Chain A
Amino acid sequence: GAVVSQHPSRVICKSGTSVKIECRSLDFQATTMFWYRQFPKQSLMLMATSNEGSKATYEQGVEKDKFLINHASLTLSTLTVTSAHPEDSSFYICSAPGLVHEQYFGPGTRLTVT
């Protein structure tokens, strides 16, 4: 099946710095990708929809200036957490739609802000 990778798998950064997370579709093209945030033992919260060649669509309550999304190509979307704070510590997951309605998920990135 289709594979989505994320890099890095884990990152620790200091408060106030920025960190970039990459999401790649390895064997298929994705004009749309989704970015989620997952808190421990909780469901996925959709943050934004990344669109190749155009601006991302953010969900209500998600700060677009804090969570910068760039969909640079048909196989790469990036999420940059700017001026990170401890409350941004979370598990970030990306996904890309497959050809027949299902989605393929990356393995996730564990962000810890100290």
Chain B
Amino acid sequence: AQSVAQPEDQVNVAEGNPLTVKCTYSVSGNPYLFWYVQYPNRGLQFLLKYITGDNLVKGSYGFEAEFNKSQTSFHLKKPSALVSDSALYFCAATLNAGNNRKLIWGLGTSLAVNP
């Protein structure tokens, strides 16, 4: 079955330290990969995506993610965490299947950045 896994329910990091939120996928073909963020009481926001090309993609708010095909991973990273980065992060993949764009979601990782 097609799936996206986020192995950590929660990640805690001190402000100013680098952060990593992990994501692995099991999707056939060449999926498109995404990271979305959900702040408390706000809608989901798009952070970044990997479609093709350079394995390192840069997104909003200083976040970046590295696509690793051999490890089927797409970990989200930021060199220096901010308290305001505390939120719920979701990794997702679409099946490369035309215009449907149905997303397969990870279960989410709650990031807490401590001052």
User: Which residues in A have some Cβ–Cβ distance to B below 8 Å?
Assistant: 1, 4, 32, 34, 41-44, 46, 49, 93, 95, 97, 101-108
Q: Is there contact, CB below 8 Å, between A32 and B99?
A: yes
| B29, chain A: closest CB distance, angstroms | 14
| A79, chain B: closest CB distance, angstroms | 16
Q: Is there contact, CB below 8 Å, between B32 and A34?
A: no
Q: Is there contact, CB below 8 Å, between A32 and B100?
A: yes
| Chain B binding surface, main DSSP class | strand
B43: contacting residue among A41, A42, A43, A93, CB under 8 A: A93
| A63, chain B: closest CB distance, angstroms | 19
- Tell me whether B101 is interfacial, beta carbon within 8 Å: yes
Q: Is there contact, CB below 8 Å, between B102 and A102?
A: no
A32: contacting residue among B34, B49, B51, B101, CB under 8 A: B101
Q: Is there contact, CB below 8 Å, between B101 and A103?
A: yes
In this complex, how many residues of chain B approach chain A with their Cβ under 8 Å: the count is: 23
Q: What residues of chain A lie closer than 8 Å to B43, measured between beta carbons?
A: 4, 93, 105-108
Q: Is there contact, CB below 8 Å, between A93 and B103?
A: no
Q: Is there contact, CB below 8 Å, between A101 and B49?
A: yes
Interchain CA distance A104-B42 in the complex, whole Å:
13
Q: What residues of chain A lie closer than 8 Å to B32, measured between beta carbons?
A: 101
- Known contacts A93-B43, A105-B43; decide if A44 and B90 are in contact (CB<8 Å): yes
Q: Is there contact, CB below 8 Å, between A105 and B90?
A: no
Q: Is there contact, CB below 8 Å, between A41 and B110?
A: yes
Q: Is there contact, CB below 8 Å, between A102 and B46?
A: yes
Q: What residues of chain A lie closer than 8 Å to B110, measured between beta carbons?
A: 41
| B97, chain A: closest CB distance, angstroms | 12
Q: What residues of chain B lie closer than 8 Å to A101, measured between beta carbons?
A: 32, 34, 49, 51, 94, 101
